[in-house]
Amino acid sequence: MVETKTKKAATKKTPTTPKKTAASTATKKVTKKKSIDKLRIRVRAYEHKLLDISTKQIIDTAKRFDAELRGPVPMPTEIKKYTVLRSTFVNKDAREQFEMRVHKRLIDILKPEAKVIEALTNISLPSGVSIDVKMV
């Protein structure tokens, strides 16, 4: 018995790409300027009075430049509770409880101009107030 081996010719198909025309490259070069739709400001503080004062300052500076505002929206207060033993080694029943409250507010400035953003960066707020600014 004689065995015959047959080999198939390997044929590779190369994908053909369409030729670029002047019209197709012109449409790719057009870029849109992306403008800021919304400026979202999250303000956080341990004391609610300081928080209210700082949000009022932010709103006043935004209104001075005729910016459209949404807020301040009160967010849920974040409460962290800690339980500590009063004495070491004895009296497991004697405990103290402490809590930290973080108050939060949310302010949206719709379609802010460059003047508004510059004024908000130069604003001075009391210590103990943290601000997160996000451009959406």
pLDDT in tens, 38-58: 899 999 999 999 999 999 999
136 residues of the chain, pLDDT tens digit each: 555 555 555 555 656 655 655 555 544 554 455 667 889 999 999 999 999 999 999 999 999 988 899 989 999 999 999 999 999 888 888 999 999 999 999 999 998 888 988 898 888 989 999 999 998 8
97 in a structural domain: yes
89 in a structural domain: yes
Contact between residue 107 and residue 90 where contact means Cβ atoms under 8 Å apart: no
Per-residue pLDDT, 85: 92
Domains: count for the chain: 1
63 in a structural domain: yes
We report the CATH number of the domain holding residue 50 as 3.30.70.600
3 in a structural domain: no
21 in a structural domain: no
Contact between residue 72 and residue 55 where contact means Cβ atoms under 8 Å apart: yes
50 in a structural domain: yes
3-state helix, strand, coil in the chain (%, to 5): 25, 35, 40
Per-residue pLDDT, 113: 87
Per-residue pLDDT, 33: 55
- Could you identify the residue written with the tokens 């339980």? 83
Give me the domain span that covers residue 122. Answer: 36-135
Contact between residue 57 and residue 120 where contact means Cβ atoms under 8 Å apart: no
Per-residue pLDDT, 54: 94
